[in-house]
Structure formats: C-alpha cells, structure tokens
Structure 1
Amino acid sequence: MFTNKRLSGAYENARIEYFDNTSKYVFMSDSHRGDDGLSDEFTRNQNIFLHALDHYYEDGFVFVEAGDGDELWEQSSYKYLRLAHRDVYNALKKFFDDGRLILLYGNHNIQLKYPQYVRDNCFYYYSEYYERKHKFLYGIEPQEALLMKHRETGQEILTVHGHQGDFFNDQLWRFSLILSRYFWRFMHVIGLHNPSSPSKNLHKRHKIETAYTKWIQLSKTMLICGHTHRPKFPKNGELPYFNTGCCIHSRGINCIEISDGKILMADWIVRANEDGLLEVKRKVVRGPEPLEKYDFNSNPDLNKIILSMKSDDEDDSV
C-alpha cells in the first residue's frame, strides 16, 4: 500500500510534458556512472551508450534519464563521475542545451532531489586545463516524476525511477547509502551483491513489480520505470507496465522509445559484422505498438483485464 501512496504522490507532483504523434522520446535508466574504478559497471558500456546517445540526438529525440544515472551512493563526489565519463556528460549537455534532456532522480542519485546540491555540482564544472569554471547543466531541475499527456487523446504516461515505496531504497536510503559506500561497494568487486537491491534479488523484484501493477490497476495510468534492471514490455492481456531495463548489462543496454505515436523496446549491443569487425547495433526486441493500445480510455480490453484481476483477488480471498 505504501508504494501506491508514493507513486500517487509522485503523479500529483510530476513535471507535465505535453506530446503528440510527432514527438520522439527515449527512456533509459540505471547507468550507475561511477569513477571508472573496479566497481564501475558502466565503464564497459560507455561507448555503446555514447553511440546510442549520438543516434538519438541526431534523430531529434528527447532523452529521459529515468533515475540512477549517477552512482552517488558509492561515490562521495559528483565531480569524480564527470571526470571519469567526461564524453558522456558532454553528450548529455548537448541534449540539455537543446532543451531535450529530462532528468529524473532515483535512489542512487537521490541527492539531485536537493536544489542546493544541484546548484553546487551540476550548474558548473571546473576545467583544470583552463583553470576556471564553465557552465555545465546550468539551471537544470531534476524531478522525481514525469507525467506525459497526449495533446489530442489526453492519454497519460507516468515515468518514475521505481524506487518509490521500496523500504530500504526509499525510506531508509541514507542507511543503504552508508552500507553501499563503505561495505557493498567492496563486496561487489569480489562478486557479492547487496540483497536489498531488486536487480539481484528475484523475490524483491517480483514484489516491487506486483506493487507497480497494483498501482496501474487502481490509477488506470500507463507506467514507465526502471530500478529493477529487468526490461519489461507488456504482453497481450497484461496491464501497461514498462521497464527500461538498465545500461550495465554485460550484453549491452536497454531502452524504451516513443515516436510516431508508437512505443517499442530496443537493445543496443556489440556484434561482429560479416568481416569480423565489432559494431554497435540497435535491435528492436518488442513492438512497435500503438500507444492507444495502452490507453484505458480508448482500449476497453484494459478495463476487462482489471475486472478479471479483481475477480481473481476475490476468489483468492474466499
């Protein structure tokens, strides 16, 4: 129930973004950009990520980073992340300068929730070469949630990171940060993982995803999130819960795209071509499907799914 309360609160206070069938958005999350050290899993996918960003920038997409882009639990200083992945942050700045960057915070970069932290760390960066400050993401306002509204149909799509209501990663995030920075960061290097992380705990992941689905059932709103690191595109007969996956898989990165009034899931992976040369390739793994398929106002089948879920709940309670 607490997840429902937290998601409803995020919905009420979300940044509003109006879109139509000519709009283009790409959603990624969970890059966990670190300091390029042994525990920084993003490093192996940095070039894939950059190639994907270049593609979406040239094709006119709005880039929505749905939380945990920065690994600020393991790292105490934002500047170390920027120094380690300078090219990535420069690519993000290109989107920002064009008004095409929407930054949501997750539990691992929840510090971006606080305006003073953002002003101190994101507005400027210090160039050691020129020995002076330069504008970086000057004026950016990271948000907890993004609520997209279709200009013509009124369809709503809520995007959050997905940690809302996850006890250790939401209410107890300060305690979890300490454990992550001073214990699990080093255990991670030798192959041990934090059991409170839904990306490594199947039971916890299932519990969180069940809570997401319950919120969709009650709110009748399409949901896009990350946090679990498990990509999700609803099958026929399922409610509209989408998950971006993550950018630290050994096999590449996942994302959700919206364009031309349709939604799809894509993977960016490295594969050898016929000459044996490695190439970064985009592979559509689900969709595209029309967005109205996931609109409760235009698709009566979604309401039938809810009725069937309610009847199943009633049968279980007997």
Structure 2
Amino acid sequence: MAKKNQFNTKALYKKLDKLFEAGTVLELNKKKRWVIFSDLHMGDGGATDDFKRNANLFTSALKEYYLKKDHTLILNGDVEELQRFQIRKILERWSEVYQLFDQFNAKGNLFKTIGNHDLELELMKELPFDYKLHEALKLKFGTNHLFVFHGHQASKKYQQHNELIGFTLKYFANPLGIKSYSVSHSSKKQYKIEKRVYGFSAFNKVVSIIGHTHRPLFESLHKLDRLKYKIEQLCRDYAEADIEQHSEIKAELKTHKKELKKYYKENKDHSFQSYVYNTLFHIPCLFNSGCVVGKRGMSCLEIEGDKIRLVHWFDKNISKKYLKKSGYQPEQLGKTDFYRLVIDEESLHYIFTRIKFLA
C-alpha cells in the first residue's frame, strides 16, 4: 500500500511539473496591482446558485475598487458552475458580472484559469466570451515564480471522477434543490490537497497559489494556525508595549482567543492537521485565495509591488468582532455597506528568502 501511495504522489508531482512548465508567464513589477479570486460557482440565480449570496459584494468590489485602482484580475478556476448549470443560463443571469470582466479584459487585465467545475469550457469549439483560458499562470518575481493554478490537479479523485460528479450534480442534486457538496466540506480532503501542493512547492522552491478547497491560506497557514501565531505575537507585544496600549492589546487577545475556542468547538477532529505539513521547518510556499461564496463574505489575494496580502470582504451585517481581526482597520467601500479588511500581509522578498534557505 505504501508503494502504491508513493507512486500516486509521484504521478501527481509529474503532472504538476508539466502544468508548471506549460504555465503562461506574466511579469510582476512595482507599478502593477493584481487581485486573485477563485471559486465563484456562478449559476442561474436560483436556489442552488451559491454565487447569489455574495453577488452584490463581488460586483461592487470589482467595479468600485479593483477596476478603479487598475488591478489585473486573475480568476483562478471554478468561475462558472458548469457541473450544475448551462453556460447560456449563467451568462444571461450574470451579464453584469461578465460586463465587468470585459472591462478588465479590454485593458489587458484579465486572466482566467480552469477549475474542475468549469472544465467543460475546454471542450467548447467556441468560447462564449472574448478572453483566453489558461491551465496555469507563472507570475515572475525577479528570478522566482508564483505558480497560480486552481488546485484540483493535486486531487487524484477529481482527476478520475470529475465527469461522474458533474452528472450527479446536474441530474440529481439540482432537481432536488440540494446544495453542492465538495472538497470544501471536508477538512481531511482539504489537508491532503494542501499537503501535496505544499510538498511540490517546497521541493521546487516556488510559491503556489490555489483555490479549490475554499479555505484561505497565507504562508502555508490556515485560520487556526494564523490565530495561534497572532496570539503569541500579541503576548510579545503586550510585554513590550507602553501601559496606555495594554487595554487595546488585551481586547484583541480576547477576540482571538474566542475565535480559537470556537474553531476547536466546531471542528473536533484535528488528528489530520499539521500546520507545517510534517516538514522540519515551516515554509511559506502555499497560499489560497479562499472563495467568493463564503458565509461571512469573500476572500482574495492581492499583490502590489513586493507585497502580497490576504483580504476579506464582507457587508455591514457581519458580527462586530470581525471588524477587528488584525492590526489593520476595515476600509468601507465608498458609501456602500461593504468593507475590505486586510487579514495578513508580507513582503515577497522575505517569503522567497525563507523558501530559499529553509526548503
């Protein structure tokens, strides 16, 4: 069994090698801004359309923030939910969204990769829009690369059974009004995919940016581990801070401790989790932009100059404790009810230095 698993892992790594070699190369520079979204799962606007929940939030963020600030938009897979809906119905219902995509594309600022839920686009003789599809992207940062791909390529089951999953969703789940069940609902499956991509990235000394699991990751850390690191850092800050800063730090510590306890209460099985994916050092080589269909808003990754940041977008109805999750203050989007919050930010120079010496 061990030899079989080893063979499967090697086969997946070879597939990722080919994907990396074939990736479209794009140059990062100090003047250009980028934003990466994945997993929109746009449907027909009905009861089983997951995109509908945050549709206004997404369109407002694109129109009022990223388009105005001249960002290049990367849509990293599963944009259309073609396993459940016909492309014609998706285009009709979300024509406003595609008009925004067209505006980015007109500036040369749109890149779209393929996910397992919109894989059908590759089989179409003629695409229903004017922009190209990419298997993967390589964002070049000096002599280093950020490898952008959806993430299902690291899942053996999705490679083998994607067509069957699509058939089940379209002809059984849809008529019954059953919501999508995917890898995003299984922490064990999420972890397996992350671990494979982490191993590939550390070995090749690249930063991989994926979607697929719907779980935001920053520097190879998911929410649980970021909270632990943040609590540890706040304790250090408290010890070194002036007395007038103590109450503010204590309040932030209390908020993070509550979040941590809530996470453990809601996710009782942690035997499969390892924040360094069983490696000797924690290597910051894996990032995930999360998804647009979150219950508390949507997340994305931004790259500006030599900085990469994880961003959470949400509306005014979100609980107040989420308005202060980090040292950054939420930014209101004009006169709308939507907010942008930076969860984490780091220098790409520092990230690649750590990868160079630790991987």
Contact 1:34 1:71 (8 Å CA) reproduced: yes
Q: In the alignment, does 2:55 pair up with 1:46?
A: yes
Corresponding residue number in structure 2 for 1:93: 102
Give the letter aligned to residue 201 of structure 1: S
What CA distance in whole angstroms lies between the structure 1 residues aligned with 2:134 and 2:13?
A: 19
Residues of 2 paired with 1:113 and 1:17: CA distance? 22
Q: Structure 1 residues 111, 117: closer, same or farther in 2, change over 3 A? A: farther
Q: Is the 8 A contact 1:36 1:43 kept in 2?
A: yes
Question: Residues 237-272 of structure 1, C-alpha deviation per residue, up to 9 Å, x if partnerless?
Answer: 333200010000121110000002100010110015
Residue in structure 2 matched with residue 28 of structure 1 by the alignment? 37
AA matched with 2:211: G
The gaps in structure 2 that reach 5 residues or longer are 1-8, 222-228, 230-281, 321-334
Q: CA deviation at 1:168?
A: 2.9
SS at match of 1:58: coil
2:166 alignment counterpart? 177
| Secondary structure of the corresponding residue to residue 232 of structure 1 | coil
Range with bigger deviation, 225-234 or 14-23: 14-23
User: How many pairs were matched up?
Assistant: 274
Dislocated runs of 4+, deviation >4 Å: none
Partner in structure 1 of residue 213 of structure 2: 228
Match of 1:159 among 138, 141, 148: 148
Scaled by the length of structure 2, the TM-score of the pair is 0.72
Amino acid at match of 2:137: L
Shift of 1:304: 4.6
How far is the alpha carbon of 1:303 from its aligned partner?
4.3
Aligned equivalents of 2:104, 2:53: Cα separation in 1:
23
Change (3 A) 1:49 1:253: same
Deviation at 1:148, TM superposition (A): 1.1
Q: Is 1:4 matched up with 2:16?
A: no
Structure with higher strand content: 1
Checking the alignment, whether the CA contact within 8 Å between 2:73 and 2:110 is kept in structure 1 is yes
Q: 1:11 to 1:115 in 2, by over 3 A?
A: farther
Cα distance, 1:190 vs structure 2: 4.7
Give the corresponding residue for 2:295: 250
Corresponding residue for residue 275 of structure 2: none
Match of 2:348 in 1: 291
Any idea what SS the aligned residue of 2:153 has? Answer: coil
Aligned to 1:316: none
Distance 1:115 1:294, change over 3 A: farther
State how far apart, in whole Å, the 2-side matches of 1:278 and 1:190 are: 32
Unaligned residue ranges in structure 1 (runs of 5+) = 123-136, 307-318
Question: Alpha-carbon deviation of 1:72?
Answer: 0.5
User: Are residues 161 and 47 of structure 1, via their aligned partners in 2, closer, same or farther at CA, if it must alter by over 3 Å?
Assistant: same
Superposition map of 1:252-291 within 5 A: 252-271=297-316, 279-287=337-345, 289-291=346-348
1:198 aligns with 2:159: no
Tell me how far apart the structure 2 counterparts of residues 115 and 60 of structure 1 sit (CA, whole Å): 31
Residue 84 of structure 2 corresponds to which residue in structure 1? 74
Distance in 1, Cα, partners of 2:286 & 2:22: 20
Once the two structures are TM-superposed, the CA of residue 180 in structure 1 deviates from its matched residue by 1.8
The change in CA–CA distance for 1:115 and 1:20 in structure 2 (over 3 A counts) is farther
* Aligned 8 A contact 1:165 1:171 in 2: no
Q: SS of 1:45's equivalent?
A: helix
Q: Give the alignment's TM-score, normalised by structure 1.
A: 0.81
Structure with the largest fraction of helix: 2
Amino acid at match of 1:245: G
- Aligned-residue CA RMSD in angstroms? 2.1
CA distance in 2, matches of 1:148, 1:267: 22
Corresponding residue for residue 57 of structure 1: 67
Q: 1:214/1:268 Cα in 2 relative to 1: closer, same or farther (>3 Å)?
A: same
Percent identity among equivalent residues? 27
Q: Within 2, Cα distance between the matches of 1:114 and 1:256?
A: 29
Does the residue aligned with 2:154 lie in a helix, a strand or coil? coil
Aligned residue for 1:294, secondary structure, equals helix
Q: Residue 149 and residue 190 in structure 1: after superposition, are their counterparts in 2 closer, same or farther (change >3 A)?
A: closer
Other-structure match for 1:148: 139
Contact 1:113 1:144 in 2 (8 A): no
CA shift, 1:186, in A, is 4.9
Q: Compute the displacement of 1:117 (Å).
A: 4.2
- The DSSP-based 3-state class of the residue aligned with 2:309 is strand
